[in-house]
Structure 1
Amino acid sequence: MIVLTSLVVLAVAFWLVFAFVGIVLKVIFGIIGGVFSIVGGILGAVIGGVVMLAMAPVVALALLPVLLPVALLALIVWAIARATRKPDVVVMPR
C-alpha cells in the first residue's frame, strides 16, 4: 500500500510539474504573440496610411468627373446668394 501511494504521489507530482510548465509556456507565448500582434497592427496602420496618402491624388482625379457638376452647381448657388445679398451697413459711432 505504501508503494502504491508513493507511485500515485509521484505521478501527481509529475502531473503538477508538467501542468505548471505548460501554464508558464502558454503565458510566455501568449505575451510574445500579443507583442507581435501589436507590432504588426501598428506596422500595418503605418503602411496603410502611407499608401492612402500616396493614392489620395489618384482617387481625387478619378472622382473629378463625378464631382465636377456638383462643384459647379455649388459655385452657381454661392454666386447667386452672394450677388443677391444686401450690402453690410456699418454705422459709425459719434
Structure 2
Amino acid sequence: MIAITVLLMLLALFWVAAVLVGTVFKLTFALIGGLFGLVSATLGLLLGGVVLLVVAPIVALALLPLCLPVLLLVAVVWAIARATRKPAAPAPVSAH
C-alpha cells in the first residue's frame, strides 16, 4: 500500500512539474506574442498614417467635381451674408 502511495505521489509530482513547465511556456509565448502584436500594431499605425497622408489629397482631388456645386453654394451664401452685414461698431475707448 505504501508503494502505491509513493508511486501516486511521484506521479502527482511529475504532473505538477509538467503543469508548471507548461504554464511557464504559455506565459513566455504570450508575452512574446503580445510584444510582437504591439510592435506590428505600431508599425501598422505608422505606415497607415503615411499612406493616408499620400492618398487623402488624391481622393480629395478625385471627389472635387462632386463637391464643387456644394462649395459654390456655400460661397454664394457666405458672400450674401457678408454683404448684408453692417460694419461693426467701434469699441468704446476708456478715458482712464
Structure 2 residues not aligned, in runs of 5+: none
Q: How many angstroms apart in 2 are the aligned matches of 1:46 and 1:25?
A: 31
TM-score of the two chains, using structure 2 as the length reference: 0.90
Q: How many angstroms apart in 2 are the aligned matches of 1:29 and 1:83?
A: 69
Aligned-partner SS, 1:5: helix
**1:62, distance to aligned residue in structure 2 (A):** 0.9
Q: Runs of at least 4 residues of structure 1 off by over 2 A? A: 87-94
TM-score of the two chains, using structure 1 as the length reference: 0.91
- Which residues of 2 match residues 15-94 of structure 1 at below 5 A? 15-90=15-90, 93=93
Q: How many angstroms apart in 1 are the aligned matches of 2:92 and 2:52?
A: 53
Q: What is the count of residue pairs matched by the alignment?
A: 94
Structure 1 residues not aligned, in runs of 5+: none
Give the percent of matched residue pairs that are identical in Structure 1 and Structure 2.
52
How big is the alpha-carbon RMSD for the aligned residues of Structure 1 and Structure 2? 1.5
**1:13-56: per-residue Cα shift (whole Å, max 9, x none)?**
10010000001111111111111111111111111110000001
Q: How many angstroms apart in 1 are the aligned matches of 2:92 and 2:8?
A: 103
Q: How many angstroms apart in 2 are the aligned matches of 1:42 and 1:77?
A: 44
Aligned-partner SS, 1:88: coil
Amino acid at match of 1:53: L
